[in-house]
Structure 1
Amino acid sequence: MEKNPPYLPHDLIILILLRLPVMSLLRFKCVCKLWFSLISQTHFANSHFEITVTHSPKILFISNPYLETRLIDFEASLSDYYTSTSLNLSFVRPRPRPDPYPHRGYYFYIQTKCSCRGFIFLHRAATTYLWNPSTRVHKQIPLSPYGSYLQVNHSLHLYCFGYDPSTDDYLVVLMSFHNVFHNISLHLEFFSLRDNRWNEIEVTNFPYINFSDYSMVGSLFNGAIHWLAFHLDLSMNVIVAFDLIERKLLDISLPDDLFWRGLPGDFEHEPTDCDLWVFGELLSVWTRQNDIVEIWVMKEYKVHSSWTKTLVFSIDVIPTHYFAPICCTKIGDIIGTDGEVGLVKYDEKGQFLEYTS
């Protein structure tokens, strides 16, 4: 008498597959047509991401020039990390060529700028890439129609990338400001990964320029990319947000009691550093003046009165006297960089916990 083959309900198969690593899923696409169709679905990919992101709280560092990667579980100790050279980053290495400046070398360091849903935005010289370390898939982003300006000093830009769930598309957003012989040209454009092309957005009122002297990466929060920018009409710094679904800009005011809001000529109270980040599940702004860091959070998104100062702490224990927050743990500990290769951790009350370099 023949025995019936073991049977697993379809729903149970889905639950099992959702908990497998990405590389295993790529191999299991070859098992049968049903699994190939299932794993290829957008809904499955989104569900898999939502499950894995809650179990993989890690920071990825790339050590130049040997392209050694370092994975740090920021819920654990900063000294507990996994170092690997198995992630192939050879696609970002420049081709050897005669160097007009041999004392500098032809190798340009790679920088990790931001991440979204498993993709990492890499930057080297004027070249940018989207890279998925799990699938090893990468794509070089072509220069925008105004990309030739990215290598010259008179160009400043705000940029980042994010995900549009309405079209299942990843967008690289670029807001550029070109000052040629005192003639300022402003452009807002985005690169669609799905369409593989740049699109310029016509904006009738574009009163923003970069508030800093260098190009800045945005903070992805609540379906929008946020930057600090200088509002020309108001003559002060604001937060400008780009809605990834509606493809439009809006501005958000900074806290009234922030010790510096970018008023003209207020150099005495100007911080050494200032930027946005996401503190837990809240949009946040941090400032650093001398060895003191202030952190503000917007407890209700887009509600100006909800800005609250949550922390003020000293960073005088850090050898570099620099601190920029990167992320926070589930219990509220803040992890930041020392500006070089070190990481620093403070607790939710601003007390120093550990430092590793």
Structure 2
Amino acid sequence: MSDPHDEFKGKNVLIERKKSKDPSEITSKYSMSIETYKDILGECRRKLFEVRSRRARPHLDDKVSPMSLKRSYASRLLYLGMDWLSHLFPGPTRFSWVKLRKSINELLPLELLQAILVRVPAKHLFPLRFVSKLWLSLISDPTFVEFHFHHTSEFTIPSYFFAHNDQLVGSVDLHALFHGGATLDTSIEKFSLPFPWKKNTRSNLLVLGSCRGFVLLRHYPYYIILWNPVTQSHKKISYYNAVKKNNIIHGIGYDASNDDYVIVIFSKENQPHCFSLRTNSWTKIDVAPPTPLITYEFIPWGLFFNGAIHWLSYRPSNRDILIFDVKKRRFSKIPLPEQKLTWWPSKLVILGGCLALNFFDYRDNNKRTQVWVLKKYKVPSSWILLYEIPHHCISLFLSNYSDVIVLDRVTMNFAKYKLEGERVQCFKYFNYSFCHVIAFEHISTVYTPSLATLPSCDKKKWKNEDIKFVKDDWNPT
């Protein structure tokens, strides 16, 4: 299995970061070769073994090459570094931890430590806060959290979150499944719900969307829950006073200008409302939608993209995508492709940084799926047919505009195709009940794991005595 970062070998990893108050516009420039990282870490390894020999630590064999371990590139490097340090300073005494902190500062420069940690998956990085106060301050720093999320979104495949009551809640690590040599069994991570749960047939969880590592869940009858499975940060919100009908449209978005998560709900009989986690309150949306709201014509879960929430209608008569801008608090619409009036649009997704749409032709015996991409946002003439797959599939991720990862709705398989339609890899589910659960869109979503916490949870300001960040000059190389 080739290393997922082989494509960067011998090249410079370039990320644009523009200095702006808007966290979503993180584009700071840094450039550093992967080979340079390996050279620096090799030097750190030699220094570590020199210190180890001075401390006379016997019976320590050389570790295996990081390239031979079945982990992501950053995880392998961090694994070796932590393993060496644990051998050097195994004692739990205060003296050993002081030495450990001193050695980290001396042997791993802060810039190098940041560059390594920003490449570690969130689920592995979050527990490392307890390594030391230095690491706690670094991993908890809002600038680092923001940069880590954008780096993860740019260079890794998102995960596939699913929920079915309190017995089966978890996610499939698609990056490990397709690029890390993992099996479906090892790529599944099960979660424990951090909030109280009543077991009855009417309280199944509905997955209403995701945003920046958070998933929006609905708990029957009048509760919605925003939850980050990695950090366990969550909030239970009642909307009984806002909307009192069952046919409700939901959506979750992020207002970068105010660092605020916004939840939108509306129904046919009720005026649209939005909930701000920053103010912890519901407000009415005074601006009316461009078309009358008939909730049973729209799929009740929205997709957050480009600062707005998008809802798709499942009626052929409705040829528009409904949009809500979370910053301006107003509605708009985007027409569907005119070429596919006879096909049935089924699901909105994000592919290659563009809004995309899956079309199914249920009258076709070949059971084909066409994926159309909106190359220029809000420009109807920019709809193009990206590819066609001879199965009923839901597109999940497009990598480098050459390979697409899909979920087959008929065979219940994760599969990977080239743009020409040739199947590259396919993974079958290990359990029929699991297949039956995960196949439905209303209990699953694509999400990117993150270290983010809710604004209401950030009551304490982290006081960092070991290191101070200057945001304008921070360069994670």
TM-score (norm 1): 0.73
1:167 Cα deviation from its structure 2 partner: 0.7
State the alpha-carbon separation in 2 of the partners of residues 158 and 107 from structure 1.
Answer: 19
Identity of aligned residues (%): 28
Greater Cα shift, 5-14 or 67-76:
5-14
- Cα separation, partners in 2 of 1:294 and 1:25, compared to 1, 3 Å: same
CA contact (8 A) 1:218 1:227 kept: yes
**Residues in 2 aligned to 1:123 and 1:343: alpha-carbon distance in whole angstroms:** 26
Which stretch shifts more, 276-285 or 140-149? 140-149
Q: 1:191 aligns with which of 275, 280, 286?
A: 275
Decide whether aligned partners of structure 1 residues 210 and 337 sit closer, same or farther in structure 2, where only a CA change above 3 A counts: farther
Residue 69 (structure 1) aligned to one of 170, 174, 183: 170
Mapped partners of 1:339, 1:164: distance in 2: 37
Q: How far apart are residue 308 of structure 1 and its match? A: 1.0
Write the distance in 1 (CA, Å) between the matches of 2:360 and 2:190: 37
The answer on whether the counterparts of 1:293 and 1:314 sit within 8 Å (CA) in structure 2 is yes
Change (3 A) 1:306 1:270: closer
Paired with 1:347 and 1:288, the residues of 2 have a C-alpha distance of 19
2:143 aligned with 1:43: yes
Q: Distance in 1 between matches of 2:319 and 2:127?
A: 47
Shift of 1:13: 5.4
> Where does 1:245-284 land on structure 2 (aligned, <5 Å)?
245-258=327-340, 260=341, 269=342, 271=344, 273-284=345-356
Paired residues of 1:162 and 1:170 also in contact (CA < 8 A):
yes
DSSP 3-state at the match of 1:147: coil
* AA partner of residue 241 (structure 1): I
Task: Encode CA deviations 1:62-102: one digit per residue, 9 max, x unaligned.
Answer: 455523534232464495343667632152521x6xxxxxx
**Deviation readout 1:323-349 (Å, 9 max, x if unpaired):** 333333444223125279654444322
Q: Name the counterpart of 1:347.
A: 418
Match of 1:87 in 2: 191
CA distance in 1 between counterparts of 2:411 and 2:282 reads: 33
The structure 2 residue matched to 1:169, chosen from 252, 260, 269, is 260
Is residue 108 from structure 1 mapped to residue 203 from structure 2 by the alignment? yes
Deviation digits for residues 275-318 of structure 1 (CA, Å, limit 9, x no counterpart): 32112221112221222222211111122221112223322xxx
Per the alignment, residue 159 of structure 1 pairs with 250
Please list, as runs of the form range in 1=range in 2, the aligned pairs for 1:1-357 lying within 5 A after superposition. 7-8=105-106, 11-12=111-112, 14-15=114-115, 18-19=118-119, 21-24=124-127, 26-27=129-130, 31=133, 39-53=139-153, 54-55=155-156, 57-62=158-163, 66-74=167-175, 76-77=177-178, 79-82=183-186, 87-89=191-193, 91=195, 93-94=197-198, 105-106=200-201, 108-126=203-221, 127-143=223-239, 145-150=241-246, 155=247, 157-178=248-269, 185=270, 187-204=271-288, 206-210=290-294, 212-213=296-297, 215-229=299-313, 236-258=318-340, 260=341, 269=342, 271=344, 273-290=345-362, 291-315=367-391, 322-330=392-400, 331-338=402-409, 342-353=413-424, 354=426, 356-357=428-429
Distance 1:63 1:26, change over 3 A: same
Structure ranking higher in helix proportion: 2
Counterpart of 2:249 in structure 1: which amino acid? L
Unaligned runs of 5+ in 2: 1-98, 430-477
User: Are the equivalent residues in 1 in contact too, given 2:243–2:267 (CA < 8 A)?
Assistant: no
Report runs of 4+ in structure 1 exceeding 6 Å deviation. none
Q: Distance in 1 between matches of 2:299 and 2:382?
A: 29
Cα 1:211/1:192, change in 2 over 3 Å: closer
Which runs of 5 or more residues in structure 1 are unaligned?
Answer: 97-104, 179-184, 261-268, 316-321
Paired residues of 1:120 and 1:130 also in contact (CA < 8 A): yes
Q: Aligned equivalents of 1:241 and 1:313: distance in 2? A: 28
Cα shift readout 1:3-53 (whole Å, capped 9, x = no counterpart): 9x655565455445545644235436x727xx7665544323211222344
The AA in structure 1 aligned to 2:405 is: I
The SS at the match of 1:305 is helix
Q: Which has the higher strand share?
A: 1
Separation (CA, whole Å) in 2 of partners of 1:240 and 1:351 = 34
Report the alpha carbon displacement of residue 168 of structure 1 after superposing the two structures with TM: 0.8
> Highest Rg: 1 or 2?
2
Size of the aligned set, in residue pairs, is 311
The structure-2 alpha-carbon separation of the partners of 1:339 and 1:146, relative to structure 1 and needing over 3 Å to count, comes to farther
- CA–CA distance in structure 1, aligned partners of residues 143 and 394 of structure 2: 36
- The corresponding residue for 2:473 is none
Distance (Å, rounded) in 1 between the aligned partners of 2:338 and 2:417: 26
- Which structure ranks higher in relative contact order (CA pairs < 8 Å, sequence separation ≥ 6)? 2
**Residue 129 of structure 1, CA deviation:** 1.3
CA distance in 2, matches of 1:39, 1:210: 45
Alpha-carbon separation, structure 2, partners of 1:12 and 1:312: 43
Deviation digits for residues 134-169 of structure 1, max 9, x if unmatched?
A: 11222112215333213xxxx3x3322121111111
Structure 1 residue identity aligned to 2:142: T
Tell me, yes or no, if the aligned pair for 2:298 and 2:313 is still in contact at 8 Å.
Answer: no
Contact 2:130–2:136 (CA under 8 A) maintained in structure 1: no
